[in-house]
Structure 1
Amino acid sequence: MSSPSSAAAVPHDGTDAEARPLALAEPPILGLPVSFWPRILAPIFVGILVLGLWEFAVRWNEVPSYVLPGPLLVGQTLIADWGTLSASLWITLRITFMALAAAVIVGVALAVLFTQSKWLEMALLPYAVILQVTPIVAIAPLIIIWAGDINLSLLICAWIVAFFPILSNTILGLNSADHNLINFFQLHGATRWQTLRYLKLPAALPYFLAGLKISGGLALIGAVVAEFVAGTGGSESGLAYRILEAGYQLKIPRVFAALLMISLSGIAIFLATSLISHLLLRRWHESALRREN
Structure 2
Amino acid sequence: MSGDTAEPVPARSGQDSSWRVLLPIAVLAIGLALWELVVRLNDIQPYVLPGPWLIAQTLVTDWAVLFESLLVTLLTTLEGFVSAAVGGIALALLFNRSRWLEHALFPYAIILQVTPVIAIAPLLLIYLPQQVAVVVCAFIVAFFPVLSNTALGLNSVDRNLAGLFQLYRASPMQTLRYLKLPAALPHILGGLRIAGGLSLIGAVVAEIAAGSAGAGSGLAYRIAESGYRLNIPRMFAALLLLSAAGIVIYASLALVSHLVLRRWHESALGKES
Spell out structure 1 runs of 4+ moving beyond 3 A: none
1:120 equivalent in alignment to 2:101: yes
- Equivalent position of 1:58 in the other structure: 39
1:194 equivalent in alignment to 2:174: yes
1:286 equivalent in alignment to 2:272: no
Aligned mates of 1:280, 1:214 — CA distance in 2? 17
Q: What SS does structure 1 have at the residue aligned with 2:50?
A: coil
Cα deviation, 1:72-120, whole Å, max 9, x if unaligned, reads 0000000000000000000000000110000000000001110111111
- Equivalent position of 2:130 in the other structure: 150
1:85 equivalent in alignment to 2:66: yes
Determine if contact 1:100/1:159 at 8 Å carries over to the other structure. Answer: yes
| Aligned amino acid, residue 63 of structure 1 | I
- Equivalent position of 1:218 in the other structure: 198
Aligned mates of 1:78, 1:92 — CA distance in 2? 17
Q: What SS does structure 2 have at the residue aligned with 1:128?
A: helix
Could you tell me how far 1:35 is from its partner in structure 2? 3.2
Could you tell me how far 1:44 is from its partner in structure 2? 0.8
1:257 equivalent in alignment to 2:233: no
Question: Among the aligned pairs, what percent are the same residue?
Answer: 56
1:111 equivalent in alignment to 2:81: no
| Aligned amino acid, residue 53 of structure 1 | L
1:140 equivalent in alignment to 2:118: no
- Equivalent position of 1:239 in the other structure: 219
Q: What SS does structure 1 have at the residue aligned with 2:43?
A: coil
**What is the aligned length?**
271
1:230 equivalent in alignment to 2:210: yes
- Equivalent position of 1:182 in the other structure: 162
Aligned mates of 1:36, 1:159 — CA distance in 2? 36
- Equivalent position of 2:24 in the other structure: 43
Could you tell me how far 1:34 is from its partner in structure 2? 4.0
Aligned mates of 1:25, 1:35 — CA distance in 2? 10
1:101 equivalent in alignment to 2:79: no
| Aligned amino acid, residue 58 of structure 1 | V
Which ranges in structure 2 are unaligned for 5 or more consecutive residues? Answer: none
Could you tell me how far 1:233 is from its partner in structure 2? 6.0
Which ranges in structure 1 are unaligned for 5 or more consecutive residues? Answer: 12-16
- Equivalent position of 1:14 in the other structure: none
| Aligned amino acid, residue 87 of structure 1 | E
CA RMSD of aligned residues (A): 1.9
1:70 equivalent in alignment to 2:51: yes
Could you tell me how far 1:291 is from its partner in structure 2? 2.0
- Equivalent position of 1:168 in the other structure: 148
Q: Which has the larger radius of gyration?
A: 1
TM normalised by structure 2 equals 0.94
Determine if contact 1:233/1:241 at 8 Å carries over to the other structure. Answer: no
Cα deviation, 1:205-233, whole Å, max 9, x if unaligned, reads 11111111111110001001000001166
Aligned mates of 2:214, 2:50 — CA distance in 1? 25
